[in-house]
Structure 1
């Protein structure tokens, strides 16, 4: 089976992890600081705060933003559930906005329709690895006095008009280092921010709400600490960060390979008129976490999915619109018709294999199998 995504681990990665295992610090140690600094520098941000997962990063972001009961946060319907779940963790209400049918990115016009006096923030999702229209979203949020955040868990390495993620308008940006993402730490995530105070609050939240960590106390010879708020154990280990640092050195090559596969797919799809890639926004440099195609009306997506799986092609579907999941239907009374573009897209989209380990031969096999299945 050719998987839709997977990690790429080499001997340098293994050596980096082994080196930490022989060190004094397995968690809250120097590898965490080094990884945070390296990712922040790569992404053009002043600060990076690493956490145990991308979901933890989203949760921490919502906490620091002060989301709570009575607050609404606009999120796209076309995303993984974690984007909306992070709002629910704090008692807030996710309000689902529709997407542009060409890109499946958050539609600023529908965001504007969904804003109310209770809206406290908008979270845009860089679906598949392409930055949203942050200029339009930022202008809207400024006008309405609403915070703008980014779920860029798909998009490490993407740029807009030459600007990396950390230089774009969102006040905080969440990343993920799950094995199917651009670099892997096993599980892991990060929040990027330009504000030092925000970074400090994020670090406190990931460490039980305590104002210092173990290494800081050892450095000063102190034992006393203060828990000043209710936080979580969302720390990431030095073992994971050592792997992430090693992976980060290869990220430019990983991105180049993903982009080469995307070009090959796009060329091949010109000969398959009933399968169309998503559009790319002007000025956007796509990071290609996912390669998603939309099948023409009348094509049985389930039959195509099954046929490809039977041929060893690990296709997938990203995503079921979040408001259609049973939890959101039951808790908030959502149902079909809330976000028609996302719902229509869900019925026709298919995710093809996309990862840096995919060979030319495998990519050709994917296209041949897709053409045959269709």
Structure 2
């Protein structure tokens, strides 16, 4: 089975992890800050906070921005559930904004229309989580303008997008957002096994997230309510969590980051080759906005169902039967039972549902060979033809 995504681990990665195992620190040592510095420097952000998952990063990002009971968080329906769940973790209410039919990202025009209505109803969002689906950045300039006009905070869920660029600058510099979150899950562009990171240019937000990721405990006298009793002293000054990243994960991350640019360049080569090999098929190929350089975590096609005799499910199952580990990113969050119990209906976001009924993620990872890619294309031709 050719998977849709796969980590790329070399000997340098293994040696980096073994080095930590032989060291004095398996957690809370020097590798985590080293990894944070590497990522911050690469993307052009002032501060970086490594945590045990992108979900944890989204949670503490929301808390740092003051999201709480009675507030609203808006995001896109076409994302993993964590992009919405992070609002619920904070006691906030969640709503969605439909996608742009070309980029599959949150649509700025749909956002503007919804904001205009929310302003009249006095229920504007406190936080909007925009998701760079497949690695292609959202229209951050347009969203940033709306954020200033309507007074909401912006989190970039860039779980798919490290190494990508927007308007010629690396995603994560937070030019149009308050916080950007990355994922380092094994199927992502670089991996730390499990892991995530939040980056920001705001020192106060960084301090708050730093506190929240480690039980709300500080050893900094300036953050304490009294003089320390001695060098052993610490205080819990907030209700935090155990969201720390280990030294093992961070060492792997530092090593992986050395190949980030090469990883993304290889994904672009594969995408260009897919574009060429699939151009004559009854499918819609991914469209890339000219302002973007996608991280290309995913390569998503959409079936032209009116031009083929097979259903979406039949094509998907045929590909799986032929040994192609395709997937579907994502089932729109608002259709999940937990969210439908809140009152959401499938038809609430028609562009998202149209996408869901046609989308298939083909294998895309830097280790994919051209022979494997040829097998994917051949299997897709068979599936579409009903063979």
Give the TM-score, by structure 2 length: 0.93
Match of 1:183 among 187, 190, 209: 190
Q: Distance between the aligned counterparts of 1:87 and 1:112, measured in 2?
A: 21
Unaligned runs of 5+ in 2: 221-229
Q: For each residue in 1:242-269, what CA deviation from the matched residue of structure 2 results, as whole angstroms up to 9, or x when unmatched?
A: 0111111111111111111000011112
Task: Quote the Cα distance in structure 2 between the aligned partners of 1:355 and 1:12.
Answer: 19
Structure 1 position 160, deviation (Å): 1.1
**Which position in structure 1 is the counterpart of 2:24?**
24
String of CA shifts for 1:145-164, please: whole Å, max 9, x gaps. 11111000000011012111
Which deviates further from its counterpart, 161-170 or 252-261?
A: 161-170
Secondary structure, counterpart of 1:55 in structure 2 = helix
CA contact 2:160–2:188 (8 Å) conserved in 1: yes
1:284 to 275, 292, 295: 292
Q: Does 1:143 find its partner at 2:153?
A: no
2:305 touches 2:312 (CA, 8 Å); kept in 1?
no
Instruction: Report if the CA contact (8 A) 1:95-1:114 is conserved.
Output: no
Name 1:259's counterpart in structure 2: 268
Does residue 78 of structure 1 match 2:78? Answer: yes
Q: How does 1:352-371 map to 2 (within 5 A)?
A: 352-371=362-381
Deviations 1:282-323 (A, max 9, x none): 220011000000000334111011111111000000111000
> Which residue number corresponds to residue 65 of structure 1?
65
- Residue correspondences, number: 365
The answer (yes or no) to whether the contact 1:269–1:276 under 8 Å persists in 2 is no
Shift of 1:278: 2.3
Task: State which of 207, 232, 242 in structure 1 corresponds to 2:214.
Answer: 207
Gaps of at least 5 residues in structure 1 are 214-220
* Structure 2 Cα separation of the partners of residues 132 and 319 of structure 1: 17
Secondary structure in structure 2 of the residue aligned to 1:337: helix
SS in 1 for 2:347: coil
Q: Secondary structure at the match of 1:207?
A: coil
User: CA offsets, 1:100-143, max 9 Å, x none?
Assistant: 11110100121123332331111110000001000110001100
Q: Which residue of 1 aligns with 2:339?
A: 328
Question: Paired residue for 1:218?
Answer: none
What aligned pairs does 1:1-374 form with structure 2 within 5 A after superposition? Answer: 1-115=1-115, 116=118, 117-118=122-123, 119-167=125-173, 168-212=175-219, 222-272=231-281, 274-298=282-306, 299-330=310-341, 332-374=342-384
Partner Cα distance (2:286, 2:75) in 1? 20
Q: Which portions of structure 1, spanning 4 or more consecutive aligned residues, are displaced by more than 6 angstroms?
A: none
* Alpha-carbon distance between aligned partners in 2 of 1:13 and 1:297, rounded to the nearest angstrom: 44
